[in-house]
A and B are shown apart, each in its own frame.
Chain A
Amino acid sequence: MPDWLIPALITLLKAVLVALALLTAFAYMTLVERRLLARMQIRWGPNRVGPMGLLQPLADAIKSIFKEDLQVTMADKLVYTLAPILAIGTALTAFGGIPAGPAGSLFGADPWVYNLDAGLLALLALTSMGVYGIFLGGWASGSKYPMLGALRSSAQMISYELGMGLSVLGTLMLIGSTNFRVIVEWQALQGWTILFQVFAFALFLVSSFAEVNRTPFDLPEAEQEIVAGYLTEYSAIKWALFQMAEYVNMMTASALMATLFFGGYRGPVFLDGLIPGISGWPIIWLVVKIGFFLFLFIWVRATLPRLRYDQLMRFGWKLVLPLALGNTMLVAFHLAFLRPSGLGLWFLGLLSLAALLVLFVMGDRVRSLWSAPAAPKVPAKATRPVGGD
C-alpha cells in the first residue's frame, strides 16, 4: 500500500463531510431565513411540516428532485446543464480552505480540507468563478430575461470583486501572509484585525453582500424587475443547485469575514476569565461567527430596499474602489513611517475608525456619487406649457 493512500482517503472523507455539512446547512438556512423573515414581519413562517417546520427543507429537497427537468427549445444543451454544476462545484470547494481549529484538533486530523499558502487567493478565485456559473447559465437559457440577468450579474460581481480584493490588502500588509492559518494565529497574538481595520471591514462587508447577490444588491434575480434573472428558465434540481450555490457562497463569505477580521476559530480571550479555555474551543467559535454573519445577511434582507442598477455600479466604482485603495495606502503609510516613530497598531485602529466616522458624517455629501445621476447641465427649454398636460 503506497504511503500517500491513507492521507488521501482521510482528505476524501473530510471533503465529503464538508460538502454534506454545507448542503445540510443550506437546507436549514433556507428554513431559518424564512422563519426569521417571518418573525421580522410579525408572522409565523413555515411551521406545519414537522415540529416547528423542521422537516420543511427535506420536503423541498424531495420535491425538487421529483420535478420535471425542462429545457427550453432555444437552450444550448451542454452549457445549460453544466452551468449549475460549475456554480455548486466552485461554491463548495471554496469553503474547504477555511481552517476550523488548530492543527490536529479534529480527532487527530487537521480541521480543514486543504491548506494552501495562497489560500486567500484561491478562495477569491473560486468565488469569482461563480460569475461563470451564473453568466453561462443565463446565456445558455436562450431567452431574454436570463440574458439580461446574467449580464447585469456578471458586471456587478466583477465590479465588487475589485472592492473585495482591494479592501483586504491592508490586512495582508499587517500580517504578511495569505495563508488562513497564519492569519488566524497572528490575530491570536496581536488582537483581532477588526480593531485596526474597521474601515476595511466595512468596505469588505458591502462588497461581499454584492458578491453573493444578496439584498440590497440582488439585481441579477430581482423578481419584480426582470422575472428571476438567470434562474428564469431553470427548473427542478438545476434551479436548486443555483440556490445552493448562492447560500453556500453566503456561508463562505461569512467564514471569510470571520477568519480575516474576527479571529477565525478563536474566541475573545477576555472570556477566559469566566470559563478557563473557552476562547480555544475549536469549531464552535467559527460556527458562532458564521451564524452571526448569516443573521446579518437575513436582517439586511428584511430591512433595506434594492439599489437601482446605475446606483449599484456607481457605488462600486466611485465609492468602494477608491476608498479601498485609500485604506491600503493608509496602512502602507502607517507601516512605513508612523510605526517606526513609535505609534503602534492602536493608532492605526484610531485612524481607521476616524475614517469610518468621517464617511458616515459626510454621508449626505457623498451620496450624490451614487444616487443622483449627475446629468450634464442641459439648458431648460420651456417646451411644456405650465399647468397643462
Chain B
Amino acid sequence: MGTLELKQKLSGHRGRVWSVCWHPKGANLASCGEDKTIIIWGSEGLKWVTKMILTEGHSRTIRELAWSPCGNYIASASFDATTAIWDKKSGQFECNATLEGHENEVKSVNWSISGQLLATCSRDKSVWVWEVNDDEYECAAVINAHTQDVKKVRWHPHEEILASASYDNTVKLFKEDLADSDWSCVATLSSHTSTVWSLSWDKTGNRIASCSDDKTVKIWREYKPGNETGVATPNNEPVWKCICTLSGYHTRTIYDIDWCKSTGLLVTACGDDIIRVFKEDDDCDPHQPSFTMVCSMDSAHTQDVNCVQWNPVVPGQLASSSDDSFVKIWSYNE
C-alpha cells in the first residue's frame, strides 16, 4: 500500500473551494470557489504561500479554472454565465477578456494542447469551442449534443479532440470535420447510470477514465478502424468501449478524477471526504485491465473533496480542494 502524506493545508478561501489547477511548470497552483476569487499559490522554500488574489472578474461562484499550456493565461468558468481570461501583460494578472454566450452557469473550461482552442460547457446543455487568435476569442462552434447540464470538458493530450461529461450520464467526444469545419459528436460513451462529474485522458489519449454519481469509475478504450482485436468500427470511425469498471470502492458521489501523465496513477475525489489512489496491475490484459486501490486517505478533508490534480512536473505531488474551504498539498509515496 502507498501512503498520502499531507505536505500543507492552505487556507485563504471563504467557503467551498471548487477547483485547483497546477501551472504547467508545476511551481504554482491556482484555486477558486464560491467566494468568487482566484488564489495563486507558490512555493517559497518548503512552504506554499499566497502569491496573488484575483478578484472582481466574476459576480458569482467560480466553478473551475485552467492555465493555458504556455502558462501565461488563466481561464475561469463562473456561475455568472461567463468565462474570464486573465493574463499578466501588465505585470499583474488582470482580466482582459470575458467570453459571453452561455445562457446560464458555466461549469468547466479547458485549453487544447496547442493553446489555440478553448472549450467551455454549461448548464444550458451546450459545449462551446472558442478559437484563440492574438488575444481575440471567437466562437468556432456551439455543440448541442448533450440532453442535460454539461459538467466537464477536457481536451485530448495531443490532438484537437474534445471530451465532455454530463448530467445525462454520458461522455461524448467531439471533433472538427475538416471538410466543412463543423464540430460534431464522434462518440457517445454510455454505461454510467447517473451524472458523470469528471473525466481524465491517459497520457497516450487512447483511454479515458470517468467518474460518476453512480459511485463507479470507468475506463474506456479507443478501438480504431482495422484494430487487431476485431472490434467493429461502423462508419469507419473509432469506437470507444468500457473495458473496466471500478465499483465497490467509493461510498458517495465521485466528483473528480485525474490520471497522472507521468506515473499512470489514478486519483479520485469523493463526497465521502476520502482521496483514493488506484494503480493499474502490471501484468493485466490491455483489453481487460485491472486496477488495485493502493491508497485510501480517510478524512482527507472534513467535507466533500471536490477536485484532485497531480502536479504535471513533480511525480506524486497532488493538490486537492474541498467544501471545507481548504486546499491541500499531498505527496504520494509507494
Instruction: Say whether A associates with B.
Output: no
